[in-house]
């Protein structure tokens, strides 16, 4: 396992917020993804904008952006961050899935992986929420970090 210990645990094993006071500010970015599988007719309804709740994709993108900005409020040990850019892209993947990619960026003392992961997750949950009346069998899967840059640990790209 990388590193000597989990940074969110103190010497007695208690949860703590990491002190980033003395860390250098660097450009940081992260991209995460989530996939939501559904019935092909549900995807067609979304694509053709025939959903009774309106533009499902626009709503999910906005929800993802809002979620990234509120990550510190949802994940107990996350720092409040001044994000400088958040993007959420949602693309069709085959006839039965949507692929969500969320990217976050800032210049700061801590990374934005959790913000990107939260954005992708909440966008997927919003798609589920908006479409559950027509397709309760949807599955959210493959939530993961795709890439991160900046900070002491450097550049990571998912293999």
Q: Where are the domains of the chain?
A: 35-157
Banded model confidence at residue 152, pLDDT cuts 50, 70, 90: confident
pTM of this structure: 0.91
Beta bridge partners of residue 32, listed in sequence order: 102, 145
Q: List the strands of the sheet with 97-108, edge to edge.
A: 85-92, 97-108, 26-37, 139-149, 156-157
Q: CB-based contacts of 77: which residues, under 8 Å, 6+ apart?
A: 8, 15, 16, 17, 18
CATH value of 35-157 in 3.30.70.640, 3.40.50.2300, 3.40.50.2000, 3.40.250.10: 3.30.70.640
Mean pLDDT, rounded, for 85-101? 98
> How far apart, in whole angstroms, are the C-alpha atoms of residue 48 and residue 85?
29
> Is residue 65 predicted with pLDDT exceeding 50?
yes
Beta bridge partners of residue 149, listed in sequence order: 29
Is 48 annotated as catalytic?
no
Identify the pLDDT of residue 42. Answer: 97
Catalytic residue, chosen from 10, 48, 129, 135, is: 129
Q: Which two tokens stand for residue 111?
A: 């990374």
Banded model confidence at residue 4, pLDDT cuts 50, 70, 90: low
> How far apart, in whole angstroms, are the C-alpha atoms of residue 143 and residue 159?
15
> Is residue 37 predicted with pLDDT exceeding 80?
yes
Q: CB-based contacts of 72: which residues, under 8 Å, 6+ apart?
A: 78, 79, 80, 81
> Is residue 2 predicted with pLDDT exceeding 60?
no
């Amino acid at each position: 396992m990388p590193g000597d210990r989990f940074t969110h645990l103190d010497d007695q094993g208690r949860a703590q917020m990491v002190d980033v006071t003395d860390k250098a500010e660097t450009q940081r970015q992260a991209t995460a993804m989530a996939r939501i599988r559904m019935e092909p007719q549900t995807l067609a309804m979304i694509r053709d904008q025939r959903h009774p709740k309106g533009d499902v994709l626009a709503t999910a993108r906005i929800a993802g952006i809002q979620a990234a900005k509120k990550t510190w409020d949802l994940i107990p040990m996350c720092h409040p961050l001044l994000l400088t850019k958040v993007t959420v892209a949602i693309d069709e993947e085959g006839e039965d899935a949507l692929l969500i990619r969320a990217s976050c960026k800032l210049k700061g003392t801590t990374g934005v992986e959790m913000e990107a992961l939260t954005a992708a997750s909440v966008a997927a949950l919003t798609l589920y929420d908006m479409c559950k009346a027509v397709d309760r069998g949807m599955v959210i899967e493959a939530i993961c970090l795709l890439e991160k840059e900046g900070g002491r640990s450097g550049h990571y790209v998912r293999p």
